Structure 1
Amino acid sequence: MLLCRISALSRATARWGAAALRPPTLSLSRHRRCQSVASSPQGRYRDSVLLPRTDFPMKLTGQKLLDRELEIQRICGFAELYSWQRERKAKKEFCLHDGPPYANGDPHVGHALNKILKDIRNRFEMLRGRQVHYVPGWDCHGLPIELKALGESGPSGLSPLQIRQKARQFAEGAIARQRAAFQRWGVMSDWDKCYYTFDGAYEAAQLKVFQEMHSKGLVYQDFKPVFWSPSSRTALAEAELEYNPEHVSKAIYATFPLDTLPAKLASEAEDLKGVSVLVWTTQPWTIPANQAVCYMPNAQYSVLKRADSGQLLLVATERAAGLAALLGTELESKGTFTGSELEGGICKHPTIPGKEVPLLPANHVTMGKGTGLVHTAPAHGMEDYSVASHFKLSVECIMDEDGRFTELAGPELANLYAMDEGTEKVISMLKSCGALVREEQCVHSYPYDWRTKRPVMIRPSQQWFINTASLKDKAKEVLQKVQVMPESARGGLLAMLDRRTYWCISRQRSWGVPIPCLLPQRQWRGTHQQEKGSDCWWELPLESLLPPEVLKKSKAGPVEDYVRGEDVLDIWFDSGASWAAVLEEGMQEEDSDEPESHLSWLRTSLLKSRVTESEPRADLYVEGKDQIGGWFQSSLLTSVAVRNKAPYKSLVVHGFVVSEKGEKMSKSLGNVVDPQVVINGGTDPTTPAYGADTLRWWVAESNVFSEVQIGPMALQSARDSISKLRNTLRFLLGNLQGFDPRTQAVDPKEMHYIDQYMLHLLRKYSMKAEFDAGRAIRVLQAFINGDLSSFYFSIIKDRLYCEPEDSVGRRSCQTVLEEVLDGLTRSIAPILPHLAEEVYLHAPGHEESETLFRSGWIKCSSVWRRPGLEEAVEGACAIRDSFLASIPGKNAAQYDLTVAIEPGLLFELMESLQVEPTSTCSQLTELMMSARTTLTGSLPRDLPTDALLSSGKFLINLEGGMIREDSAYTIAVVPTCAAHCPRCRRYTSDTPDCLCPRCQSVLSGAA
């Protein structure tokens, strides 16, 4: 239904004519009253105008800003908020599981991006009524902490327990600094109840996962190639590698003389006498470990004769042209064969006399570069090892843990660093025996140790592994049910599962969770670890770890026959098992009659414990894109292995923080942004104190799915945006001075239609405000700039400032302003909690002790959506736009407006805004911001010659399309003849310097 219908349109139209365009005649007595008022001091008018008043500061900078944020945290109970919401009743829980940052240094801007992003989501969910489960944690083990704890002096003869003590102390210091920073940023949590991977309880849960996987046959020990870091002296998982695209290797082309021809080629022996297989490698140091040369069975191969030397080379036919250009000579084909015809061929090793090297088929051979024939060293290559496993080749490691050649490499190479002088020596040896065809520099991507930033090697080692190949299909299946943002990151997760056939989970360090392996039979047991933690692996005598009853039960030899294993678990296994240790209703201990003690670390009660299928999943994991191959993967694999499901329902994968030039941050470039300096300011005048909310706004405003830029421009832009927002909030607060919505609010049905329409827009805004912080900011700014500042605020100021204080019109406006203030404040609260709580302290309508975050989300009502309201106001706005377009750059208040609409829906809607034919104070006039508005069925014939005419149409669509009408309108605009009112400044006075009738009424009423 429409807001208002007129039954006698003809009668109403007859009352309107040309006289409406002219101001009314002023009587002599009225003129004298105006003179009397006009002679009053200007101050009297100024004091009578209800201008905004508030003690909410326009801006806060420097130390005042910092002090105010800390004060807000204190008086609004930031520290107690998480515990409060955990104790309240809620129908639903939202669990964001915290990926543990590494406890090896000070907080950095990457921490800020991650933690604030999580906090924005948590605060949003809490305001929407959910009970948030968020336990911050720290990854506390591993080589970087151990190295930093020991400093430049290294172990210096320290025992494992002494090393562990130093590493723990270092980690605890880093945790304290990071925790203090996270609290300062306003991150909501119970900071007294965090999780740490070095806690005994956490280690117990972790080893339960290990035991479950071991019992299912997923954990095994083997001697196979792994990524090995000579600079760290430990094995690495693929997640611990970073690839340097600018790595420079010395690549070589070398020959392996074909000593025994393949059977299918023997008939052409005369033509092929003296042929050599040509290989290419970027790792010359692996040549002494060669056990085979591999070919592609389905490819074509040719014997080529060099024009410059007559040398015969066997290479892939596809690579012939490129090799000719590379060698700078013509290559004549002396015969072509399929790869399968090379079967049975045997070469001589170029530097090891008497060693035979077979030609073997392999699917990993490619034709993109090289010669199409691959030098194969099973001890130092993953694909090479697969070939060796299939053909039962020897796997001999010629390199020690420091990256030096061992005696197995020969006396000429022993003790040389393989990748440095060892490489030079191998090349020299190849040159001496005539096997070196070409040497060149090769720039390519190569794996580095992510901690030491030094190249890694592949070498075989006795390690513990997880058979991820058997988990891959199930992991892929459950991953399809996980929501991934951005969706493009899903491909990386799946590709990583395809690429990883096994996961090396053992490390050769002291600072970590020991793999409870007792050699030679490797009896192991799980853990309670509640008191002593994993230190007891080194502290307890072997008799305690392997008591007589266990030896008897297992029919093992005497305890003297055993030694304890020295490997610790990969830190990715540490953190990947966090779902088992942290998520609520996690792994439950079975009751045991055995008293708790540090010996329970190896008690058999663990063997009865199982991870149950009922354990919950986190709603969300949020981490950087580097965790696609890290924590996201290790969490997925361990959970699938134990529970056959993913530990998370959804993933958010954000980018890295870079400088405003797009550069990776580094101390050498001097572009590192310290979040503590961002908040507190630096010694340099160009680094002011921005406070925590500016840092949070920067996070929210950024496109976190790509590289996130930070620098002076980004921070200044964030501060400017907050300043504009602050001024909007201050305007709202100032106009609510003395207003109490609990007693003075106007019922929506009694409000001006523009006020009702503003509530309708607020409701639409509140429905768009969501946890996507970037979108929330865009919606916020569009609402403030468009619906509020450019529209509503510009329209209502006269009514707000100049109407009587207690008038229905002004209270109607204030009711809306209070709702808008409340809605805006709550919608920005997840992003800007300090500003939101500061505003709430000044806002009317609640108890002084109440805080915003304990009072819920935006409170909007379906009553605000009234049929016909939207069409009435938006129809008027369409007319308003035509009016303003006809007087570009002019003051609308200086014009009289006549609106002509033929009888119909649009006319009835406009009549709901202005019942009388002409008015200076109707709701239609207020919307038009004109001096006077006349609503008529047709334009008068005697329009002034200076009238500006324009027309337009407005489509009315009501009741779901049941009522549709494309209504036309025409407007006539003429300069007003009315005078400027010195109080309200509208052109509605009878004579210059005379108060308009409305202002006279207000002042007389006030008197």
Structure 2
Amino acid sequence: MCADTPEMNSPDYKSTLNLPQTDFPMRAGLPKREPAWLERWEKIGVYDRLRDKAKTEQRKPFTLHDGPPYANGNLHIGHALNKILKDMVVRSQQMMGRDSRYIPGWDCHGLPIEWKIEEQYRQKGKNKDEVPVVELRRECRAFASEWVGIQREEFKRLGVTGNWDDPYLTMNYHAEAVIAGEFMKFLMNGTLYQGSKPVMWSVVEKTALAEAEVEYHDHQSHTIWVKFPVVRALDANGARQPQRGVNVVIWTTTPWTIPSNRAVAFNPELSYGLYKVTEASEENWAKVGDEYLLADNLAEEVMKAARVDAYERKEDISAKQLDLMVCAHPFRGIEGGEGEWDYDVPLLPADHVTDEAGTGFVHTAPSHGADDFILGVKHGLRMTHNVLEDGSFRPDLPLFGGALIFDHKGKEKDANKRVIDAMAGVGALISRGRIKHSYPHSWRSKAPLIFRNTPQWFASIDRDVGDGQDALGKTIRQRALNAIDAVKWTPETGRNRIYSMMESRPDWVLSRQRAWGVPLTCFVKKGALPDDPDFLLRDPAVNARIVEAFEADGADVWYMEGAKERFLGKDHNPEEYEQIFDVLDVWFDSGSTHAFVLRDREDGSEDGIADLYLEGTDQHRGWFHSSLLQSCGTNGRAPYRGVLTHGFTLDEKGNKMSKSLGNTVAPEQVIKQYGADILRLWVAQSDYTADLRIGPEILKNVADSYRRLRNTMRFLLGSLGDFDEIEPVKPVDMPPLERWVLHCLYELDQEVRKGYDAYDFQGVFQKVFNFATVDLSAFYFDIRKDSLYCDADDSQFRHAALTVLDILFQRLTTWLAPVLVFTMEEVWLERYPGETSSVHLEDIPETPADWHKPELAQLVERVRNVRRVVTAALEVQRREKVIGSSLEAAPEVFVEDATLVTLLRTVNFADVCIASQLTLTEGAAPEGAFTLDEVPGVGVVFALAEGEKCQRCWKILPDVGTHAHEGTCKRCSDALG
């Protein structure tokens, strides 16, 4: 056994130190502990208590209106991102003094739910069409209700606060009554009309789709080049001149639309020519001597596709010449055609034709394209109804009756092939091929869509709205464009995006040919045409009866026996009217939510306008868009003052998440492994205005940041154990370093409030995190640990530090509570464990203006710069094993700036540098001194501290061992009494 040393024989002074003491664990254990806090918040009624508090204090309301998620499946990471962002907004606004209200909601109607019920029917061998519609609707309601319950618990598990006991559901009776009432406002103001237009149609779902329900994916289509024979032209005098052998050539990727062709479009601004084939293989469809009209910029490409070996350009063809030409349909005179296509096909001028691809001529089927329809209306072209709702050709269509474009699973069938074969048979083709291109698909079934002409109900956005509010704009489009500029868009690019969409959007297709939804509550007069003044029944008394019935029993009453007689009453003969059974586009449902949530609910918005709508960037064409249209049609204004958008979630490599790729990150998995606070912290650390990446490595980094922050809070808790026993020190009586911390808090408080108001959660967290880990943990705490641990209990110096720690505690917990809802509650309850205590019932404390000391901050910054040189110099000695601790050092610090030397002598610079002894010397550092280029005029010469090590504070000082208490310095001996 080695000989005794003085240190081993000296008293154990550890029990005399004020070392941090806390039960707050370093290991959070969030996955297991978070549910208990959720139960506690529910038990003490945090959300309701905040409403009572706001009412008592007459706080200004802040309403974030929840965009309704769809009630048909478990949450994905995008849901979590969205709801967490909303929760951060709500909580931060509340803690800054507002009455911050949040009413969760759900979209409950629509095709996906109805489809699920139909799948169940098929599995049971039931025919959906034989099930009474009310029974089907009730099963849809039960299905949606079940998923609302599941999703509600999943959202709550994320720590999201709100009125969970009374959410809004679009299938609630009052909601259905209001949605019907809002629809009937369009009926009454003249913007509702029935029209026959080509709309995006899903043959899988057998319904029309709105633009917001369409997404684009790569799809392989047939591509064909087709000859339209020119049969006559008019000369300059208007006389008919027969034509032989000249063909207008078109190119299309939808061969199935050729039977519905009614015209060919050209662009008068393009250059056209007549081209003749001079050399070609005998096997080619393009024959020697054929003459084609083509856009000059595309002629070479067309001839190449047709495998023509040589050709010549015979002459220019002017726009005036084209305008006087008439073609025959390629199927004119076809055997078995029964005269179906024996009509003229005019050439018509149109701006949408380009020479970027194709031939410079566009085959025009008004029933199957948006541009085609517009051109058809302008020139009175006949609409066709060749394609049925299941994607098949009408049975009586010659040659092609019953042919199917896509089947019920979205797979291509025989329509394209049969049309192509028929054209090849009559010599109408010059080439064919396949092309992969972006093509519209249903965002629900993921199946390709078709443009199909069907009778649908529309809200016109360019008709005058007859409601007497012309000052807001005469049309819905004008009102919407005006309203957009009155809204604050975050980020600002959102404004331009929705503005351009609103400028060019077509009329709103309101009708869907389904069963589960709010019906289009209107009646049409039998025998009347859509343009007739009395076609639509517009009777306020009828409308009132409908709303009253829906309010009492829901929209199912529309489908019950005797409904027509009940609603028409005695004023109208039921035999003269037809009841409409289409249901409303679900975007009309969600677009109307402002009316039954913001306007009608007591906890809604006082003026019926939300302070904020917050959804993903895709909602510029979705919920933001439909809400704006709906509200402008009924109120003349937007239903929101602010709109915030976030990006999509991607995996760590920036790839779109896909179950097939196995790169999805489920919220449930993250919570199970890390806890919801880590997921919330991921949101706070991310730039949500762009797409957000998430994955195992990213989450590990987030967890590391969390641990560092938790360590800061643990230090505060451990050090504040005896704070209640002291008299807090006034700022004016504090040392400079404490007053500097208060100054930092003042400036940071401004940044936090500004950031929360701008919804800049990433900026807020980064600033608070850097302050906590750099300014506090690595600087202030590091310096003040000695005083906190070793100074006497009655030391004013220590009391000042404790006062600052208490102030830090109050602000850090409330600043971070909107982000780390569980952890800050845990921290708060560690100090304030009352039965009804909660950090979420607190506000961010007001910060006194007299804490602001910019001149002091400049001085401290100069001190910190000198300290950086000293600590860097001591770190060199530590790495070389000369010292084990900075307390073993007694550096000499050379400073050229005399005023800086004076400043350093006003503080205990040795303590600032955590050195036992330190000498300050005014002047240039000697050669060989340690310096840092970024801190000129400062040098350090290393020396070992002289004296003995104090057995209480561990400083090495010359006076150790000369005081009453063995092995202590004067400060420690005095503290021991």
TM-score class normalised by the smaller sequence: 0.7 to 0.9
TM-fit CA distance, 1:885: 4.3
CA contact (8 A) 2:233 2:240 kept: no
Name the amino acid aligned to 1:47.
Answer: S
* Worse-matched range after superposition: 229-238 or 70-79: 70-79
CA distance in 1, matches of 2:586, 2:897: 78
3-state SS, counterpart of residue 583 of structure 1: helix
Q: Write out aligned runs for 1:19-58 (5 A).
A: 38=6, 41=9, 44-58=12-26
Matching residue of 2:429: 436
Matching residue of 1:499: 504
Matching residue of 1:978: 947
Length-normalised TM-score, structure 1: 0.85
TM-fit CA distance, 1:825: 1.2
1:325 equivalenced with 2:321 (yes/no): no
Structure 1 residues 924 and 848, CA, compared in 2 at 3 Å: closer, same or farther?
Answer: farther
TM-fit CA distance, 1:899: 5.6
TM-fit CA distance, 1:283: 0.4
Matching residue of 1:276: 247
CA contact (8 A) 1:229 1:236 kept: yes
Matching residue of 1:361: 349
Matching residue of 2:659: 667
Structure 1 residues 789 and 255, CA, compared in 2 at 3 Å: closer, same or farther?
Answer: same
3-state SS, counterpart of residue 123 of structure 1: helix
CA contact (8 A) 2:712 2:773 kept: no
TM-fit CA distance, 1:243: 0.9
Q: Write out aligned runs for 1:614-693 (5 A).
A: 615-680=607-672, 689-693=673-677
Structure 1 residues 507 and 124, CA, compared in 2 at 3 Å: closer, same or farther?
Answer: same
TM-fit CA distance, 1:122: 0.5
* Worse-matched range after superposition: 138-147 or 84-93: 84-93
Matching residue of 1:787: 775
CA distance in 1, matches of 2:52, 2:599: 17
3-state SS, counterpart of residue 12 of structure 2: helix
Matching residue of 2:285: none
Matching residue of 2:325: 345
Name the amino acid aligned to 1:619.
Answer: D
Structure 1 residues 71 and 224, CA, compared in 2 at 3 Å: closer, same or farther?
Answer: closer
Q: Write out aligned runs for 1:384-533 (5 A).
A: 384-407=372-395, 409-417=397-405, 420-469=413-462, 470-520=475-525, 521-523=535-537, 525-526=542-543, 527-528=547-548, 529-533=550-554
CA distance in 2, matches of 1:868, 1:673: 49
Gaps of 5+ in 2: 123-127, 281-287, 334-341, 407-411, 463-474, 526-534, 878-884
3-state SS, counterpart of residue 409 of structure 1: coil
Matching residue of 1:120: 88
Cα shift readout 1:758-800 (whole Å, capped 9, x = no counterpart): 2222222222223221112211221122201221121111111
Matching residue of 2:339: none
Cα shift readout 1:191-246 (whole Å, capped 9, x = no counterpart): 122111111211222233222233322221111111111101111111111111x1
Structure 1 residues 295 and 951, CA, compared in 2 at 3 Å: closer, same or farther?
Answer: closer
Matching residue of 1:856: 843
Name the amino acid aligned to 1:926.
Answer: D
Cα shift readout 1:605-647 (whole Å, capped 9, x = no counterpart): xxxxxxx9x9442111110122111111001111222222211
Structure 1 residues 77 and 519, CA, compared in 2 at 3 Å: closer, same or farther?
Answer: closer
Structure 1 residues 878 and 729, CA, compared in 2 at 3 Å: closer, same or farther?
Answer: same
TM-fit CA distance, 1:519: 3.3
Cα shift readout 1:393-451 (whole Å, capped 9, x = no counterpart): 11011000100000353144334346520110000000000001111111111111111
TM-fit CA distance, 1:140: 0.7
Matching residue of 1:164: 137
1:285 equivalenced with 2:256 (yes/no): yes
Q: Write out aligned runs for 1:201-220 (5 A).
A: 201-220=174-193
3-state SS, counterpart of residue 896 of structure 1: coil
CA contact (8 A) 1:301 1:338 kept: yes
CA contact (8 A) 1:951 1:971 kept: no
Q: Write out aligned runs for 1:752-763 (5 A).
A: 752-763=735-746
CA contact (8 A) 1:515 1:566 kept: yes
3-state SS, counterpart of residue 313 of structure 2: strand
TM-fit CA distance, 1:821: 2.0
CA distance in 2, matches of 1:898, 1:473: 75
CA contact (8 A) 2:30 2:676 kept: no
CA contact (8 A) 1:78 1:186 kept: no
CA contact (8 A) 2:893 2:918 kept: yes
Matching residue of 1:572: 587
3-state SS, counterpart of residue 551 of structure 2: coil
TM-fit CA distance, 1:88: 4.0
CA contact (8 A) 1:109 1:657 kept: yes
CA distance in 2, matches of 1:836, 1:903: 45
Structure 1 residues 993 and 326, CA, compared in 2 at 3 Å: closer, same or farther?
Answer: farther
* Worse-matched range after superposition: 211-220 or 689-698: 211-220
Q: Write out aligned runs for 1:806-825 (5 A).
A: 806-825=794-813
Q: Of the candidates 52, 56, 60, which is equivalent to residue 28 of structure 2?
A: 60
Structure 1 residues 267 and 516, CA, compared in 2 at 3 Å: closer, same or farther?
Answer: closer
* Worse-matched range after superposition: 469-478 or 633-642: 469-478
Q: Write out aligned runs for 1:231-270 (5 A).
A: 231-244=204-217, 246-264=218-236
Q: Of the candidates 804, 811, 814, which is equivalent to residue 792 of structure 2?
A: 804
CA contact (8 A) 1:83 1:189 kept: no
CA contact (8 A) 2:170 2:590 kept: yes
TM-fit CA distance, 1:696: 1.2
Cα shift readout 1:950-996 (whole Å, capped 9, x = no counterpart): 69999xxxxxxxxxxxx977766543323322321212244699989
CA distance in 2, matches of 1:720, 1:736: 25
Name the amino acid aligned to 2:585.
Answer: D
Matching residue of 1:926: 911
3-state SS, counterpart of residue 890 of structure 2: strand
Matching residue of 1:988: 957
CA distance in 1, matches of 2:818, 2:31: 24
Q: Of the candidates 701, 708, 719, which is equivalent to residue 717 of structure 1?
A: 701
Name the amino acid aligned to 1:931.
Answer: S
CA distance in 2, matches of 1:252, 1:133: 58
Identity of counterpart residues, as a percentage? 35
CA distance in 2, matches of 1:372, 1:129: 63
Structure 1 residues 40 and 543, CA, compared in 2 at 3 Å: closer, same or farther?
Answer: closer
Q: Of the candidates 316, 335, 345, which is equivalent to residue 336 of structure 1?
A: 316
CA contact (8 A) 2:268 2:319 kept: yes
CA contact (8 A) 2:64 2:611 kept: yes
3-state SS, counterpart of residue 957 of structure 2: coil
CA distance in 2, matches of 1:67, 1:446: 46
CA distance in 1, matches of 2:932, 2:204: 80
Structure 1 residues 125 and 67, CA, compared in 2 at 3 Å: closer, same or farther?
Answer: closer
CA contact (8 A) 1:755 1:816 kept: yes
CA distance in 2, matches of 1:227, 1:116: 34
Structure 1 residues 781 and 447, CA, compared in 2 at 3 Å: closer, same or farther?
Answer: same
CA contact (8 A) 1:949 1:971 kept: yes
3-state SS, counterpart of residue 297 of structure 1: coil
1:739 equivalenced with 2:723 (yes/no): yes
TM-fit CA distance, 1:492: 2.3
* Worse-matched range after superposition: 831-840 or 255-264: 255-264
Name the amino acid aligned to 1:180.
Answer: E
* Worse-matched range after superposition: 321-330 or 59-68: 59-68
CA contact (8 A) 1:279 1:374 kept: yes
CA contact (8 A) 2:10 2:966 kept: no
TM-fit CA distance, 1:488: 2.5
TM-fit CA distance, 1:180: 0.9
Matching residue of 2:712: 728
Gaps of 5+ in 1: 1-35, 552-557, 589-611, 681-688, 914-922, 955-966
CA contact (8 A) 2:886 2:914 kept: yes
CA contact (8 A) 2:69 2:106 kept: yes
3-state SS, counterpart of residue 258 of structure 1: strand
TM-fit CA distance, 1:176: 0.5
